[in-house]
Amino acid sequence: MTRSVYIAHTGGTIGMKKTANGYAPVRGYLDEVIRTMPEFAREDMPTVVVREFETLIDSSDMTPSEWWRIAQDIRDHYDQFDGFVILHGTDTMAYTASALSFMLEDLAKPVIVTGSQIPMCELRTDGRDNLISAVLLAANYDIPEVCLYFHDRLYRGNRSQKVDANGFHAFDSPNFPPLAEVGISIEVNRSLLLPGPNKPLRVQQLNPPMVGTMSLFPGINAGIIENFLKPPLQGLILQSYGSGNAPSKNAELLRVLQEANDRGVIVVNCTQCYRGLVDMNTYECGRVLMQHGVISGYDMTREAALTKLYYLFSLGLDTASIKQRMQQNLRGELTHPG
Ligand code: ASP
């Protein structure tokens, strides 16, 4: 039986055309390109339905409202298709993939976010390969996860990050191997995949709380963090040094963290390193953070930690439960130190 894939086009470079003001998304264009691509007329290609969002956006304009529209769209078409491809700008693609991984609870089918660095209207576009491979993976492989496909690699969505503003190898998954590699053959590493659910899909809307991210740097003034942590802030992703370290001799900094913790602000320690995980037990400079109420983000990306905070707050949980679940593995987004 012919497989079928639902393609939702949200915007981004892949469907952009040159305008007087630079590349911008153009309605109807990508739909037409896909309809006229000979690849999609082949018998071994799944049937695709393309739905363009009413307003196509550069992904820098992506917000949780658009995530909700995408999630609802998947839910509304869930039973009719074997898999889903979301065409999206690369700039915030990893945030969207992370957010959807939490919003789509008990997902049993592949949802693959992809896009391109060069638009489809250009000769050297990388969009063609990304689109075709993403569609084939979504149609033919039993991958019950939100993924990100780019440049021959399928990544777990909530492990992915944009790592190159210009190159074709624009994404990576620093703390988790690719789920699949696409070469002469398509190799899916099944041992890495999440187990399929035994419940029907449920979709959770995100009502973003007041949260933020901040990176430590030598010479940081405790007053900056104090201002940042002031009400109404509810949570902070603190990007610390190395395996989760902060200046332990800065008594003021520790005081403001403690006071924030006492007010119920959730401070999550993620490393500012590209790879590796937070273990606050390793150094005195990490342990003091733990002693002042900071919780571990382990090896979560900034994108995963932020969208997970959105998700847990949106479930209406109390502070203790949010802290507990932030440190649990919910969708394959974190690894505990072994
Ligand atoms: N600014 C574009 C976007 O994120 C970049 C891209 O799609 O590659 O929508």
Model confidence at 281, in pLDDT bands (50, 70, 90)?
confident
| Final residue of a structural domain among 203, 231, 264 | 203
Confirm whether 266 is domain-assigned: yes
Rg (CA), the chain: 21
DSSP state of 20: T
| Final residue of a structural domain among 172, 203, 234 | 203
What spacing in Å lies between the alpha carbon of 309 and ligand 1's midpoint?
25
Residue 283, pLDDT > 90, answer no
What spacing in Å lies between the alpha carbon of 24 and ligand 1's midpoint?
10
One domain, residues 15 and 69: yes
Model confidence at 316, in pLDDT bands (50, 70, 90)?
very high
One domain, residues 195 and 278: no
Confirm whether 334 is domain-assigned: no
Confirm whether 35 is domain-assigned: yes
Residue with the smallest CA separation from ligand 1 atom 3 is 89
Q: What is the CATH number of the domain that holds 237?
A: 3.40.50.40
Confirm whether 332 is domain-assigned: no
Q: What is the mean pLDDT of residues 99-124?
A: 97
One domain, residues 165 and 222: no
What spacing in Å lies between the alpha carbon of 162 and ligand 1's midpoint?
11
Q: State the DSSP string of 184-195.
A: SSEEE-GGGSPP
Whether residue 15 contacts residue 120, with contact meaning beta carbons closer than 8 Å, is answered with yes
Confirm whether 333 is domain-assigned: no
Q: Burial letters for 291-318: b for 16+ Cβ neighbours within 10 Å, e otherwise?
A: ebbbbbbbbbbbbbbbbbbbbbbbeeee
One domain, residues 301 and 193: no
| Choice among 13, 90, 92, 125 that is catalytic | 13
Residue 290, pLDDT > 90, answer yes
Q: Which of 19, 55, 60, 166 to mutate to test the pocket of ligand 1 (most atoms within 8 A of CB)?
A: 60
One domain, residues 99 and 53: yes
Q: Which of 55, 58, 93, 164 to mutate to test the pocket of ligand 1 (most atoms within 8 A of CB)?
A: 58
Confirm whether 24 is domain-assigned: yes
Distance from chain centroid for Cα 246: 26
What spacing in Å lies between the alpha carbon of 116 and ligand 1's midpoint?
8
Q: Which residues line ligand 1 (CB under 6 A)?
A: 11-13, 58-60, 89-91, 115, 117
One domain, residues 23 and 90: yes
One domain, residues 83 and 177: yes
Confirm whether 73 is domain-assigned: yes
Model confidence at 298, in pLDDT bands (50, 70, 90)?
very high
One domain, residues 246 and 263: yes
Which of ligand 1's atoms lies nearest the C-alpha of 16? 7
Q: What is the CATH number of the domain that holds 186?
A: 3.40.50.1170
One domain, residues 199 and 293: no
> Tens digits of per-residue pLDDT, 46-92?
999 999 999 999 999 999 999 999 999 999 999 999 999 999 999 99
Which of ligand 1's atoms lies nearest the C-alpha of 25? 9
One domain, residues 262 and 160: no
pTM given for the model = 0.97
What spacing in Å lies between the alpha carbon of 12 and ligand 1's midpoint?
5
One domain, residues 54 and 163: yes
Instruction: Please state the domain count of the chain.
Output: 2
One domain, residues 129 and 263: no
In sequence order, the 6+-apart residues with CB closer than 8 A to the CB of 143 are: 83, 110, 137, 154, 179, 180, 188, 193
Residue with the smallest CA separation from ligand 1 atom 7 is 89
| Final residue of a structural domain among 154, 185, 203 | 203
Q: Which domain holds residue 92?
A: 4-203
Q: What is the mean pLDDT of residues 182-187?
A: 97
Confirm whether 336 is domain-assigned: no
Q: Is 13 one of the annotated active-site residues of the chain?
A: yes
Q: Which of 91, 166, 168 to mutate to test the pocket of ligand 1 (most atoms within 8 A of CB)?
A: 91
In sequence order, the 6+-apart residues with CB closer than 8 A to the CB of 22 are: none
Residue 338, pLDDT > 80, answer no
Please state, for a pLDDT cut of 70, what percent of the chain lies above it: 100
Q: What is the pLDDT of residue 1?
A: 73
Residue with the smallest CA separation from ligand 1 atom 8 is 90
